[in-house]
């Protein structure tokens, strides 16, 4: 079992202010796999003070962006050497299948580091514009101290979507990992030290919700970058609004996969299995609403039922496992509640359903489920379940499919499956979602902005837009 008794603050491992600890439990065995200090408001105060000093007086914001990008590049080299270790660690602490951890949980954060190291090497922080009375210099400066609050489902992906651009921009950062998954952040801290990031530029305080709210409210924080539930995002947005504090919110989703009549379903199912069930269904971009025409509805239901039934469910460390356990007993119980609600509303589970998973007396498992007979007004079609639960919803024609896809409080992601790519792109333009894929799941390319419409959040991460969100714009006008 991994045991850490210190917090990473001010470039050093320091004793926590309190005596509380966070026990990290394996979702598969229900046994402890790690223990870390439970950060307190006093620890947050110390971390913000360290970040504040690093930003206000330290060398980091005063280096050129290219110099900072070179340090981020060194961090990328260190990360690449240890990405296998990172993948194994994330699987042990939150139950992500090891194949997914090796395919996405560790490689995608590395890709972000590489991308922002490259972008920062050539990024222009000033440009000259002809003004009404003389030239105007438009300058980009770091926003300041950033609070990065991350969830448990893809912990390194979310940390890096904030940390990599913030570092290149010249910000100092306080990271608050989720209490379910703090272990990976300690491995990251080791790399940050080895990369030569100056003291106080990155600080990491694992903690629960109350300490997180203290961080959000802290007067020394200039910007909050949050990924998590829409309910928590509303609270954070309200706090930041009261204080006129910058914030970025990447929230929930209830994305729709539109299967058109010309789709070659057998060829598409491999991609759709990843799009719909990735990370045990614990992904904000998961395509959990499958829209099928009435003419092919039974065929589509059968194809998805066969695909889900074929998934190997079990030990997430086993490479043959397709679906592992949910992250916690609380999350398992929540998903089971949705499975019961689906049946009560009249939906039919053609695979799976409520009542747990046969043969798994230990571990936080649910039965992967496909619901047929679903209408878009049911709770299972409207609320984010965050588990391996799919709903197949019928549509009348293409316009009706787009209408159903857009009939959601969310607008994070979506896909369309068709043999006519141009037709698919046309549908992509009509669906109000921040990321979209035609015959493929949008893999959140580091070069392209990621975020959502409506209740899926505010702002964008990744791409040049992600870097811009950590910069303030200053206009300097002059005569002559």
- Tokens 């990360």 -> residue: 79
Region of residue 228 (phi > 0: left; psi between -120 and 50: alpha; otherwise: beta): left
Residue 31 burial by Cβ neighbours in a 10 Å radius (0-12, 13-18, 19+): exposed
- What's the confidence (pLDDT) of residue 413? 97
- What's the confidence (pLDDT) of residue 357? 85
Say if residues 213 and 136 touch (Cβ distance below 8 Å).
no
CA–CA separation, 444 and 359 (whole Å): 36
| pTM of the predicted model as reported, rounded to 2 decimal places | 0.96
- Tokens 């119980």 -> residue: 333
In the three-class reduction of DSSP (H, G, I as helix; E, B as strand; rest coil), residue 351 is classed as: strand
Q: What is 2-251+456-477's CATH number, 3.40.605.10, 3.30.559.10, 3.30.470.20, 3.20.20.70?
A: 3.40.605.10
Catalytic residue (choose from 93, 180, 213, 250):
250
Catalytic residue (choose from 93, 284, 336, 398):
284
Q: What are phi and psi of 447, to 5 degrees?
A: -80, -10
- What's the confidence (pLDDT) of residue 25? 98
Identify whether 247 is a catalytic site residue.
no
Say if residues 437 and 415 touch (Cβ distance below 8 Å).
yes
Maximum distance among all alpha carbons in the chain?
Answer: 80
Question: May I ask the CATH architecture of the domain 256-445?
Answer: 3-Layer(aba) Sandwich (3.40)
- Select from 293, 439, 308 the least CA-distant residue to 371: 308
In the three-class reduction of DSSP (H, G, I as helix; E, B as strand; rest coil), residue 2 is classed as: strand
Domain ranges of the chain: 2-251+456-477, 256-445
Torsion angle defined by CA atoms of residues 296, 300, 301 and 304, in that order, rounded to the nearest 10 degrees: 180
- Select from 155, 72, 142, 145 the least CA-distant residue to 114: 72
Tally Cβ neighbours within 10 Å of residue 242: 9
DSSP string, 292-346: EETTTHHHHHHHHHHHHHTS-BS-TTSTT-SB---S-HHHHHHHHHHHHHHHHTT
CA–CA separation, 216 and 354 (whole Å): 38
pLDDT tens, residue order, the chain (480 aa): 899 999 999 999 999 999 999 999 999 999 999 999 999 999 999 999 999 999 999 999 999 999 999 999 999 999 999 999 999 999 999 999 999 999 999 999 999 999 999 999 999 999 999 999 899 999 999 999 999 999 999 999 999 999 999 999 999 999 999 999 999 999 999 999 999 999 999 999 999 999 999 999 999 999 999 999 999 999 999 999 999 999 999 999 999 999 999 999 999 999 999 999 999 999 999 999 999 999 999 999 999 999 999 999 999 999 999 999 999 999 999 999 999 999 999 999 999 999 988 778 899 999 999 999 999 999 999 999 999 999 999 999 999 999 999 999 999 999 999 999 999 999 999 999 999 999 999 878 999 999 999 999 999 999 999 999 999 999 999 986
CA–CA separation, 184 and 58 (whole Å): 27
Identify whether 240 is a catalytic site residue.
no
């Amino acid at each position: 079992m991994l045991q850490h008794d210190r917090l990473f603050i001010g470039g050093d491992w320091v004793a926590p202010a309190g005596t509380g600890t966070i026990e990290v439990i394996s979702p598969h065995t229900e046994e402890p796999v790690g223990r870390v200090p439970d950060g307190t408001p006093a620890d947050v105060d110390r971390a913000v003070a360290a970040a504040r000093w690093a930003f206000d007086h330290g060398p980091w914001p005063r280096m050129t962006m290219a110099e900072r990008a070179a340090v981020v590049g060194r961090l990328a080299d260190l990360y690449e050497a240890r990405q296998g270790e990172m993948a194994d660690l994330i699987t042990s602490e939150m139950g992500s299948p090891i194949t997914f951890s090796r395919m996405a949980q560790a490689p995608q954060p590395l890709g972000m580091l590489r991308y922002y190291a490259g972008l920062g090497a050539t990024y222009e922080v000033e440009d000259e514009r002809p003004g009404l009375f003389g030239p105007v210099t438009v300058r980009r400066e770091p926003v300041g101290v950033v609070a990065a609050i991350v969830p448990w489902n893809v912990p390194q992906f979310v940390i890096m979507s904030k940390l990599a651009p913030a570092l290149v921009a010249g910000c100092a950062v306080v990271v608050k990992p989720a209490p379910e998954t703090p272990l990976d952040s300690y491995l990251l801290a080791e790399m940050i030290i080895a990369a030569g990031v100056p003291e106080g530029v990155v600080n990491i305080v694992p903690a629960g919700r109350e300490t997180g709210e203290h961080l959000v409210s802290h007067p020394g924080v200039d910007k909050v970058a949050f990924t998590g539930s829409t309910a928590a995002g509303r609270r954070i947005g309200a706090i930041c609004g009261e204080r006129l504090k910058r914030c970025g919110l990447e929230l929930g989703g209830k994305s729709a996969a539109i299967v058109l009549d010309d789709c070659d379903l057998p060829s598409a199912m491999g991609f759709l299995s990843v799009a719909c069930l990735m990370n045990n269904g614990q992904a904000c971009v998961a395509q959990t609403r499958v829209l099928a025409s009435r003419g092919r509805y039974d065929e589509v239901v059968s194809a998805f039922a066969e695909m889900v039934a074929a998934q190997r469910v079990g030990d997430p460390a086993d490479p043959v496992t397709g679906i592992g356990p949910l992250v916690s007993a609380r999350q398992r119980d929540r998903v089971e509640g949705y499975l019961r609600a689906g049946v009560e509303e009249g939906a039919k589970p053609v695979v799976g359903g409520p009542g747990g998973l046969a043969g798994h007396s230990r571990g936080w498992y649910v039965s992967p489920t496909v619901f047929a007979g679903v209408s878009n007004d049911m709770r299972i079609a409207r609320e984010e379940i965050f588990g391996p639960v799919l709903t197949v919803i019928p549509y009348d024609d293409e316009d009706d499919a787009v209408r159903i896809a857009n009939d959601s409080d969310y607008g994070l992601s979506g896909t369309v499956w068709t043999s006519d790519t141009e037709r698919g792109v046309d549908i992509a333009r009509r669906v109000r979602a921040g990321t979209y894929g035609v015959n493929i799941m949008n893999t959140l390319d580091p070069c392209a902005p990621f975020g959502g419409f409506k209740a899926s959040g505010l702002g964008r991460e990744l791409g040049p837009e992600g870097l811009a969100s950590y910069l303030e714009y200053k206009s300097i006008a002059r005569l002559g």
